Amino acid sequence: MGTEDRKEREKEQMRQLIIKTAMQLFIEKGMDNVSIRAIAEKIEYSPGSIYTYFKDKSEIIHAIHTEGFEKLYALQKTLDGVENPVDKLAQMGRLYMKFALENRDYYDLMFIAKGVAEKITEKQEWDVGNRSYDYLRETVKECIDQGYINDPNVDAVTFGIWGFVHGMAALIIRGRCAMMPEEFIEQTVSGSLSFMYTHLINN
């Protein structure tokens, strides 16, 4: 009796269609236009139907959220070949900022938006994010082990560095630097990254 299998497959297809549509809207028109009604309209279903496939809106958002972390991790993985952990760390910092500023909606959803992290109840739901965090942490650990960073507290250093890049990104994305000219911001971010790089590392 393969009927159940097929139905499950069809249901999964529908789920994917909804997610795909949500992502399209997300990329094209930003988070604010990913409304249940907008998704429904685009797939020519009624808003209520969405609820046959998802418990609530946050379940759909979560999929976009996860996609964002996939993108970020894929970028981080391009640094796999970098031998020197200090170089790797420096490049990771610039790569992170670049990702944040070139994918502002994704970044916002992943690290800033309200009501996203709050919905995560299952431990394993943090995995996609932790993977990226651990990638940074490992690099920091190598820097410490090889004597490039002079502090035994891996977590403090890692969190500090994350905070540093996230902070700049978040301030820019949420318009808290709007009083500064665009080019000035760019230069300043670049200068900050250099400053940190120069001072946190022993040569």
Partner DNA sequence: TTCAATTATTAAACAAGGTTCAATATATAA
Partner DNA sequence: TTATATATTGAACCTTGTTTAATAATTGAA
CB of 8 to a second copy, least distance (A): 31
Least Cα distance to 96 among 158, 179, 20 occurs for 158
How many residues of this chain bind DNA (CB under 7 A)?
Answer: 24
- Taking CB under 8 A as the criterion, the residue among 55, 123, 147, 183 binding a second copy is 123
Per-residue interface string for the shown chain with DNA, residues 15-54, x marking contact by CB under 7 A: ------------------xxxxxx-----xxxxxx-xx--
By CB under 7 A, tell whether 188 contacts DNA: no
C-alpha–C-alpha distance, residues 73 and 132, integer Å: 6
35: left (phi over 0), alpha (psi -120 to 50) or beta: beta
By CB under 7 A, tell whether 174 contacts DNA: no
| Encoded tokens for 150 | 């002079």
C-alpha–C-alpha distance, residues 192 and 195, integer Å: 5
Least Cα distance to 64 among 9, 8, 119 occurs for 119
By CB under 8 A, tell whether 51 contacts a second copy: no
Task: Tell me which residues in 156-195 interact with a second copy (CB under 8 A).
Answer: 156-157, 159-160, 162-168, 170-171, 174-179, 184, 187-195
Least Cα distance to 174 among 101, 96, 81, 90 occurs for 101
Q: Which is nearer to DNA, 34 or 72 (CB)?
A: 34
By CB under 7 A, tell whether 13 contacts DNA: no
